[in-house]
Amino acid sequence: MSQEQTHKSLDEINQSVEVPSVYETSFVQKFLAYSGPGALVAVGYMDPGNWLTSLSGGSQYRYSLLSVLLMSILVAMFMQTLSIKLGVVARLDLAQAIAQKVPKAGRYTLWIINELAMMATDMTGVVGTAIALKLLFGLPLLYGILFTIFDVLLVLLFLRFGIRRIEFIVLTAILIVGVIFGVEVSRATPNLAQIAGGLLPTPKILTNHEMLIMSLGIVGATIMPHNVYLHSSLAQSRRYDYHNPAQVNEALRFAKWDSNVHLVAAFLINALLLVLGGTLFFHTNGHLSAFQDVYNGLKNSAIVGNLASPLMSTLFAFALLITGMISSITSTLSGQIVMEGYLHIRLPLWERRLLTRFVTLIPILAIGFLVGFNDHDFEQIIVYAQIALSIALPFTLFPMVALTSNHDLMGIHTNQRYVTMIGYLLTTIITVLNLQFVIAAF
């Protein structure tokens, strides 16, 4: 299949946003025009799975795992840069590019692996949203889970606005969540010197088994396959003359700016969560294990001192609700990319969303009835969802490094040898760590 014969990735938004010409000079104007896809990708790094690992890591080891979070985001930046390059230069998303290189059996196998990963991502959003609804409105988890079916309507409503407005909505949500946690952390008055020390890696992470497991959980929750697929498609949403080498170079430049700025924002929000857990709950002997614990703790002066107030706990639950619902947009788009790229099946987004949600709800409801819809048990679902993402990750990163190192596909933008070596090295390390995570988990 040639490149010209391939359907455009996310056809309804492909090349839908006009950007300034390469001959215009305003950096700010160009940055704003290209800014947006990075926000959609970054929100995936702030879903309830990231919340749980960051909060638990802080409550158990205070600020020591900030270094793990920092390294994970740096690796994510590297991988997202390769994803952007594939989309901008080859005009293909990752699923389309892989599908052109592997036989039919390989396409179906990779589709199944990634479809399971998409379901795991969706499961995290469902559980997080249901828990947030329970915290805010006292809605039983069963009804909260069923209520998430209706976020199909939310996604469809957003998509009717066009990709530019979706990007603005998501960026606004990120800013709101960032402000909420910024306020809560500033009122908690953390020790800034200890936070700075936590950014430096410590050998204890490798020698302390429980600390290593938590570190691997942060890695698994931070570097997710669906975001790599998503960015390779969203990078194509800008309309410019891609036959002009100078314009392609500029698109790569500003897409990377967009990605890195928003990933820094994602890092800061996750770091704030970890600091919040470490500042407020470390002295509770690391017994923080659930969103309910944090919600209750933020109202308890015996735990958080002068910070305690119903407003702080309500803001926490509201932020959880926002990220749980917004992440459903990106999981829908990622699912569409994977299905169309590997199977060449194009479904309307509402059908795709309903299919994914119903398939996700079946195991969630089955587990729920078995455990009596217990909060703690449901949060273990989030943990196991991160394991599923970890398992799928090597099947995403190895092909992406190989494809962006293919001169026939990438031309003058082929990875330099050192970039390829770094890509394979990082992917191998992640694979080994994730295998250890899976083995330890079971």
**pLDDT digits 0-9 by tens, 293-322:** 788 878 877 766 677 788 888 988 998 888
Share of the chain above pLDDT 70, in %: 90
- At residue 155, the pLDDT reads 67
How far is residue 346's CA from residue 343's CA, in Å, rounded to a whole number?
A: 9
Summarised one tens digit per residue, pLDDT across range 363-408 is 888 888 887 887 777 777 776 777 777 778 889 999 999 999 999 9
* Cβ-contact 178, 272 below 8 angstroms: yes
- At residue 185, the pLDDT reads 86
- At residue 440, the pLDDT reads 62
Higher pLDDT among residues 120 and 109, named by residue: 109
DSSP secondary structure, 244-304, as one string: SHHHHHHHHHHHHHHHHHHHHHHHHHHHHHHHHHHHHHGGGTT---SHHHHHHHTT-HHHH
- At residue 6, the pLDDT reads 57
- At residue 288, the pLDDT reads 53
How far is residue 315's CA from residue 165's CA, in Å, rounded to a whole number?
A: 25
Q: Please check the confidence at residue 158 and state whether its pLDDT lies above 80.
A: no
Q: Please check the confidence at residue 210 and state whether its pLDDT lies above 80.
A: no
- The domain made up of 32-441 has a fold known as Amino acid/polyamine transporter I (1.20.1740)
Q: Tell me the pTM.
A: 0.89
Summarised one tens digit per residue, pLDDT across range 165-206 is 888 888 888 899 888 888 888 888 888 899 999 998 888 877
Q: How confident is the model at residue 410 (pLDDT cuts 50, 70, 90)?
A: very high
Least confidently predicted of 32-46, 294-308, 334-348:
294-308
Q: How many CA within 13 A on the CB side of residue 41?
A: 35
End-to-end CA distance of the chain: 42
Summarised one tens digit per residue, pLDDT across range 222-262 is 778 888 999 999 999 999 988 999 999 999 999 999 999 99
Higher pLDDT among residues 177 and 284, named by residue: 177
Place of tokens 């795991």: 120
- At residue 233, the pLDDT reads 94
Q: Please count the other Cβ atoms lying within 10 Å of the Cβ belonging to residue 136.
A: 17
Once rounded to an integer, what is the mean pLDDT over residues 130-146? Answer: 90
Q: Please check the confidence at residue 78 and state whether its pLDDT lies above 60.
A: yes
Higher pLDDT among residues 84 and 270, named by residue: 84
Whole-Å CA distances, 425 to 100, 177, 192: 25, 34, 33
Q: How confident is the model at residue 152 (pLDDT cuts 50, 70, 90)?
A: low
Least confidently predicted of 100-114, 271-285, 311-325, 399-413:
271-285
How far is residue 390's CA from residue 438's CA, in Å, rounded to a whole number?
A: 8
- Per the prediction, the chain carries an average pLDDT of 84
Once rounded to an integer, what is the mean pLDDT over residues 404-431? Answer: 94
Domain ranges in the chain are 32-441
Name the 3-class secondary structure at 240: coil
Q: How confident is the model at residue 4 (pLDDT cuts 50, 70, 90)?
A: very low
- At residue 442, the pLDDT reads 61
Q: Please check the confidence at residue 3 and state whether its pLDDT lies above 60.
A: no
- At residue 2, the pLDDT reads 40
- At residue 292, the pLDDT reads 80
Whole-Å CA distances, 123 to 71, 106, 307, 386: 26, 26, 32, 10
Once rounded to an integer, what is the mean pLDDT over residues 209-225? Answer: 75
Once rounded to an integer, what is the mean pLDDT over residues 156-163? Answer: 73
Q: How many CA within 13 A on the CB side of residue 170?
A: 33
How far is residue 389's CA from residue 349's CA, in Å, rounded to a whole number?
A: 23
